[in-house]
C-alpha cells in the first residue's frame, strides 16, 4: 500500500502541482488553461449527446468501466491484470474506430453543417414552405397506404446526402402529392427505389439506399424498412415508409423505426423533427430582436 501511496504522491507532485505552478507564472497561461478546459468539456458534452441517442451508449459505458479498471489495476500494482487490460486497450482504439464507424461519420458530418449560419435568421417563407411540403408528403403517404403501394420517401435535413441523390434519377421538381403517388405506381420506371426531398424540392427518384446491418430488426420487415433505417442512421434524414404488404406507414429516424403510425401522428413527427427543431432558435432570435426594436422605438 505504501508503494501505491508513494506513486500517487509522485504523480501529484510531478504533474499536477508542477502544471498549476507554471500557470501562476503568467495570467495568459491561466487564460489558455481555461479555454483549453472549456473546449475539452464542450467536446465531451457533444460526444456524449451524439452517442446517448444511439445504441453505442451501452458500449461507451462498458469502455469507460474498462478504462477505470485498467487505471485501478495499475495503481494497485496488479501487474498481470494491468498488462492484459493494457493490451486490450491498445487494440481497443482500432476496435472503437470499426465499431463506431457510423456514429463517428455522422458526428463529423454534423460538425460540418451550417447551423451557425442558420442561427442568424432564416426566411419565414422557408419554414412555411417546409410545413406545406410535409402536409403534401403526409397526403401522398396516406393515399399510397390506402392502395397498399410501397413507397420510400427520404426528407433530407442538415446532413446532405448528395451521393445518394446522384445515384438516382435527378428530378428537381416541386413537391406535390400527385407526383409522389405517381412515382411509386407499380410498373412505372421510377417506382423501384427511394425519393429524396432536398431543399423543398423532389431532388431525385429511384435512389438506392444503404441497408441497415441491425440484427435485431423484425423479420417481417422488408428491404424498404431496412433501407429507411440505414439512411436515417448514416445521416439525420427522416424517412417515410409505406409497406406494400400491409399498407402501414412507418417513420425511420436516427436508425430506429416507428412502426404503424396514423396520419395525424405522422404529421406531428415530421413537423416536430423537421420544422420545429430546425427553426426554433431562428424564430426565438427574431422575436428577441423585434422586442428590442419595439422597446427602442417607444423610448
In the CATH hierarchy, which fold is given to the domain comprising 118-286?
A: YojJ-like (1 (3.40.1700)
The pLDDT of residue 280 is: 61
Q: Report the chain's terminal Cα–Cα distance, integer Å.
A: 72
pLDDT at 39 over 80: yes
Lowest mean pLDDT among 6-10, 113-117, 190-194, 238-242: 113-117
| Element (DSSP H or E) covering residue 119 | none
pLDDT at 5 over 60: no
Say which residue, 74 or 249, is predicted with more confidence.
Answer: 249
Range 258-267 average pLDDT: 92
Say which residue, 247 or 104, is predicted with more confidence.
Answer: 247
pLDDT at 4 over 70: no
pLDDT digits (tens, 9 = 90+) for 222-251: 889 999 999 998 898 999 999 999 999 999
The pLDDT of residue 299 is: 56
Lowest mean pLDDT among 16-20, 25-29, 90-94, 234-238: 16-20
Placement of cell 479498471 in the chain: 69
pLDDT at 190 over 70: yes
For residue 72, give the C-alpha cell. Answer: 485501478
Distance from C-alpha of 127 to C-alpha of 26, rounded to nearest angstrom: 50
Say which residue, 24 or 188, is predicted with more confidence.
Answer: 188
Residue percentage of the chain with pLDDT more than 70: 67
pLDDT at 60 over 50: yes
Question: In degrees rounded to 5, what are phi and psi of residue 157?
Answer: -115, -120
User: 206: Cβ–Cβ under 8 A, 6 or more apart, which residues?
Assistant: 168, 169, 189, 190, 191, 192, 193, 194
- Domain positions in the chain: 2-111, 118-286
pTM of the model: 0.58
The pLDDT of residue 120 is: 41
pLDDT digits (tens, 9 = 90+) for 118-142: 444 444 477 888 899 999 999 999 9
With cut-offs at 50, 70 and 90, classify the pLDDT of residue 165. very high
Range 182-209 average pLDDT: 93
Scanning 147-274, the segments in alpha helix (DSSP H) are 162-166, 177-183, 223-234, 263-270
Q: What string of DSSP letters covers the chain?
A: -HHHHHHHHHHIIIIIIHHHHHHTT-HHHHHHHHHHHHHHHHHHHHHHHHHHTSTHHHHHHHHHHHHHHHHHHHHTT-HHHHHHHHHHHHHHHHHHHHHTHHHHHHHHHHHTS-HHHHTT---HHHHHHHHHHHHHHHHHHHHHHHTT--EEEEE--SS--HHHHHTSEEEEE---HHHHHHHTSTTSTT-SSEEEEETTEEEEEEE--PPP--TTS-TT--HHHHHHHHHHHHSS-EEEEE-TTT--EEEEETTEEE-S--HHHHHHHHIIIIIIHHHHHHHHHHHHHHHHHHHHHH-
Query: Could you tell me where the beta strands, DSSP code E, fall in 208-292?
Result: 238-242, 249-253, 256-258
The pLDDT of residue 122 is: 43
With cut-offs at 50, 70 and 90, classify the pLDDT of residue 278. low
Average pLDDT, the chain: 79
The count of other CB atoms within 10 Å of the CB of residue 112 is 10
Burial of 155 (0-12, 13-18, 19+ CB in 10 A): buried
With cut-offs at 50, 70 and 90, classify the pLDDT of residue 3. very low
Lowest mean pLDDT among 34-38, 204-208, 249-253: 34-38
Distance from C-alpha of 115 to C-alpha of 231, rounded to nearest angstrom: 21
Amino acid at each position: 500500500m505504501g508503494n501505491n501511496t508513494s506513486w500517487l504522491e509522485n504523480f501529484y507532485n510531478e504533474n499536477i502541482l508542477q502544471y498549476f505552478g507554471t500557470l501562476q507564472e503568467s495570467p495568459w497561461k491561466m487564460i489558455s488553461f481555461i479555454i483549453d478546459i472549456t473546449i475539452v468539456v464542450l467536446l465531451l458534452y457533444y460526444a456524449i449527446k451524439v452517442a446517448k441517442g444511439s445504441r453505442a451508449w451501452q458500449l461507451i459505458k462498458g469502455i469507460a468501466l474498462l478504462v477505470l479498471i485498467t487505471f485501478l489495476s495499475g495503481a494497485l500494482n496488479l501487474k498481470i491484470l494491468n498488462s492484459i487490460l493494457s493490451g486490450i486497450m491498445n487494440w481497443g482504439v482500432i476496435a472503437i474506430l470499426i465499431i463506431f464507424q457510423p456514429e463517428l461519420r455522422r458526428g463529423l458530418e454534423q460538425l460540418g453543417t451550417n447551423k451557425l449560419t442558420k442561427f442568424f435568421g432564416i426566411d419565414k417563407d422557408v419554414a412555411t414552405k417546409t410545413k406545406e411540403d410535409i402536409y403534401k408528403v403526409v397526403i401522398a403517404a396516406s393515399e399510397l397506404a390506402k392502395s397498399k403501394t410501397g413507397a420510400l420517401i427520404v426528407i433530407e435535413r442538415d446532413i446532405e446526402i448528395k451521393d445518394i441523390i446522384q445515384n438516382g434519377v435527378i428530378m428537381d421538381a416541386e413537391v406535390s402529392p400527385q407526383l409522389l403517388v405517381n412515382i411509386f405506381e407499380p410498373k412505372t420506371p421510377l417506382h423501384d427505389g427511394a425519393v429524396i426531398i432536398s431543399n423543398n424540392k423532389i431532388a431525385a427518384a429511384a435512389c438506392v439506399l444503404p441497408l441497415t446491418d441491425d440484427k435485431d430488426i423484425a423479420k417481417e420487415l422488408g428491404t424498404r424498412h431496412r433501407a429507411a433505417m440505414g439512411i436515417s442512421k448514416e445521416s439525420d434524414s427522416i424517412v417515410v415508409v409505406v409497406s406494400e404488404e400491409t399498407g402501414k406507414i412507418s417513420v425511420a429516424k436516427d436508425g430506429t423505426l416507428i412502426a404503424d403510425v396514423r396520419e395525424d401522428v405522422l404529421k406531428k413527427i415530421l413537423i416536430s423533427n423537421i420544422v420545429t427543431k430546425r427553426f426554433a432558435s431562428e424564430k426565438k432570435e427574431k422575436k428577441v430582436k423585434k422586442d428590442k426594436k419595439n422597446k427602442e422605438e417607444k423610448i
